[in-house]
């Protein structure tokens, strides 16, 4: 036993296994400029010329004297470094802020998101305040938590797989490159369409964020590169086949009774929130209910129900806010597409009609200079009628289909925006019922499907 302890405490043994772990990390990172770190490790364990732990004396351990301040500083620095590495490269906590994924995920669900599922991204902005996303705490999102002195290009390390159809994915909001600080919940581009650029810029503070500092969104990936997607009368089709329907998927239904009201206890027993039930004030026997198909089947069994139908928007109910925000595309949330999802390496013929679908990809995501003069398209100074995609793209939708701002509004999600795969719920609380009374014990440690 003493021999083993002697080996483990030997400086050369420590140097060996730390260096091996560091070299394996460099191979994964594929950045061999950092090989200089081996020299630092060698000095830390062998030559000890530099006091790398500058907050404590060189011979602090050998002295046998304990200092509470030094011990705390030591522990905090180690915890910050270790937790930052885990958060960047392996797993990150995430909380559900909105009902767009109900009932698969609920507001107040706390998740772990796996970075290794698809491979972690190397941060675009490596100089940043630890454990926060894009804004310093207690600053009302006015102060950036990162510096742009160093901006690295997109690079994804090897992972365990690729994004698959129907995965629940966390990603950076594609339209989050420009943000109106006073209205961060809304898309800058939608605000400009609705109110005009001059009005938005003259009355608000506008900031720009790099990809890795855009807001995090969570949705279901319903179509992958190369797929053809279409929504017809509220039904989703991928490659002309009915798409997967999650068990918790919600929609909005019109429900009419024989004149009597539905007992509120029915909604409570089915887990339907009060905010998801609207009564028509002109016709009190008519309800608009947002819930799952399973719940609506139970409501249908009630004796006083005379009519139930899913609320589907008309084909004429088009909006300029629906992607690609072009009046030639008469699309709505319930009648959308068909649309082809761009795939890396695939070349498409560009026309004045399909250019609105791909313009943001060409200009913003893949950083080309695009000019259009009549029917003439010029990319990076060269006239062309085709474009080859440099990245894969995905189409994301919320399971709460009538209460989800998703790809139907802002289009494709580029591969460099993918953060990770939602793995499991580690805690869940209903904020309306308080911290202790609202804990949803049945959801804790549930996997996400």
Of residues 321, 344, 290, 345, the one with CA closest to residue 407 = 321
Radius of gyration of the chain from its Cα atoms, rounded to whole angstroms:
27
Give the C-alpha separation, 93 to 427, whole Å: 10
Structure-token match 């010029």, residue found: 378
What is the four-CA torsion angle of 303, 306, 308, 309, rounded to 10 degrees?
170
Q: Enter the DSSP assignment of 33.
A: G
DSSP line for 249-282: -EEEEEEEESSSPPPHHHHHHTT--GGGEEE-TT
pLDDT band of 416, cuts 50, 70, 90: very high
Q: Tell me how far apart the alpha carbons of residues 34 and 301 are, in angstroms, rounded to a whole number.
A: 66
Residue 103: asked if its preceding bond is cis (omega within 30°), the reply is: yes
Q: What is the pLDDT of residues 84-128, one digit of tens each?
A: 999 999 999 999 888 899 888 988 999 999 999 999 999 999 999
Higher per-residue pLDDT: 278 or 387:
387
pLDDT at 347 over 80: yes
Length of the chain: 449
Q: What would the two tokens of residue 242 be?
A: 């009915």
Q: Which of 53, 110, 192, 76 is nearest to 426 (CA)?
A: 110
For residue 353, is pLDDT > 90?
yes
Report the pLDDT value the prediction gives residue 437, as an integer from 0 to 100.
Answer: 73
The three-class DSSP label of residue 124 is coil
Instruction: Please say if the pLDDT value at position 180 is more than 70.
Output: yes
Nearest to 222 by CA among 236, 202, 207, 240: 236
Contact (CB, 8 A) for 22 and 41: yes
- Give yes or no for a contact between 252 and 290, defined as CB atoms under 8 angstroms apart: yes
Q: How far apart are CA 292 and CA 272, in angstroms?
A: 9
User: What is the CB neighbour count within 10 angstroms for residue 193?
Assistant: 15
DSSP characters over 93-114? EEE--SGGGTTTS-TTEEEEEE
Name the DSSP class of 71: H
Nearest to 111 by CA among 91, 125, 131: 91
Which sign does the torsion angle of CA 240, 241, 247, 253 carry?
A: positive
The mean per-residue pLDDT over the stretch 64-75 comes to 82
In CATH, which superfamily holds the domain spanning 250-310?
ACT domain (3.30.70.260)
Reported as a pLDDT band with limits 50, 70 and 90, residue 435 is low
Structure confidence at residue 61 (pLDDT): 72
Beta bridge partners of 223: 395
* Residue whose token pair is 């129900």: 305
All structural domains of the chain with their residue ranges: 1-52, 250-310, 347-388
Would you say residue 357 has pLDDT above 90? yes
Would the pLDDT of 141 be above 80? no
Residue whose tokens read 């609380």: 429
Question: Around Cβ 212, how many Cβ atoms within 10 Å?
Answer: 23
Q: Measured between alpha carbons, how far is 54 from 247 in angstroms, rounded to an integer?
A: 56
Residue 221 confidence class, pLDDT cut points 50, 70, 90: very high
Type and span of the H or E element at 232: strand 228-232
Judge whether residue 59 has pLDDT over 80: no
pLDDT at residue 1, as a whole number: 65
From CA 313, how far away is CA 326, in angstroms rounded? 19
- Residue pair 366/358 in contact (Cβ under 8 Å)? The answer is no
Residue where the block lists tokens 């600080």: 181
């Amino acid at each position: 036993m003493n021999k083993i302890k002697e080996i483990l405490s030997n400086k050369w043994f420590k140097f060996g296994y730390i260096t091996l772990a560091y070299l394996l990390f460099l191979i994964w990172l594929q950045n061999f400029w950092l090989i200089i770190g081996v020299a630092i490790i060698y000095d830390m364990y062998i030559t000890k010329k530099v006091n790398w732990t500058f907050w404590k004396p060189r011979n602090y351990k050998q002295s046998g004297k304990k200092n509470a301040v030094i011990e705390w500083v030591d522990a905090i620095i180690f915890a910050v470094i270790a937790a930052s590495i885990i958060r960047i490269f392996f797993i990150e906590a995430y909380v559900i802020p909105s009902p767009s994924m109900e009932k698969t995920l609920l507001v107040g669900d706390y998740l772990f998101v796996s970075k290794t599922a698809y491979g972690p991204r190397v941060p675009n902005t490596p100089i940043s305040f630890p454990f926060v996303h894009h804004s310093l705490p207690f600053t009302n999102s006015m102060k950036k938590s990162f510096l742009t002195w160093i901006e690295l290009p997109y690079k994804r390390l090897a992972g365990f797989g690729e994004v698959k159809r129907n995965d629940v994915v966390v990603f950076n909001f594609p339209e989050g490159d420009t943000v109106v600080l006073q209205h961060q919940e809304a898309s800058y581009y939608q605000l400009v369409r609705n109110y005009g650029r001059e009005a938005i810029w003259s009355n608000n503070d506008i900031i720009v964020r790099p990809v890795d500092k855009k807001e995090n969104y969570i949705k279901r990936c319903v179509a992958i590169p190369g797929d053809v997607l279409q929504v017809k009368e509220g039904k989703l089709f991928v490659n002309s086949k009915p798409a997967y329907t999650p068990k918790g998927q919600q929609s909005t239904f019109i429900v009419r009774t024989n004149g009597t009201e539905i007992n509120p206890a029915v909604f409570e027993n089915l887990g339907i929130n009060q905010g998801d039930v609207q009564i028509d004030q002109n016709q009190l026997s008519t309800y608009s209910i947002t819930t799952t198909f399973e719940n609506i089947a139970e409501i249908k069994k009630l004796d006083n129900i005379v009519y139930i139908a899913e609320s589907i928007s008309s084909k004429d109910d088009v909006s300029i806010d629906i992607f690609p925000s072009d009046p030639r595309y008469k699309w709505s949330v319930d009648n959308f597409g068909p649309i082809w999802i761009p795939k890396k390496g695939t070349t498409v013929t560009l026309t004045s009609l399909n250019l609105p679908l791909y313009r943001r990809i060409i200009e913003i995501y893949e950083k080309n200079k695009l000019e259009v003069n009549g029917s003439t398209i010029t990319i990076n100074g060269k006239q062309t009628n085709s474009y080859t995609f440099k990245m894969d793209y995905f189409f994301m939708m919320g399971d709460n289909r009538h209460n989800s701002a998703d790809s139907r509004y802002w289009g494709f999600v580029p591969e460099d925006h993918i953060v990770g795969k939602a793995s499991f719920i580690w805690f869940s609380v209903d904020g309306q019922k308080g911290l202790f009374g609202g804990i949803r014990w049945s959801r804790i440690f549930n996997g996400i499907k």
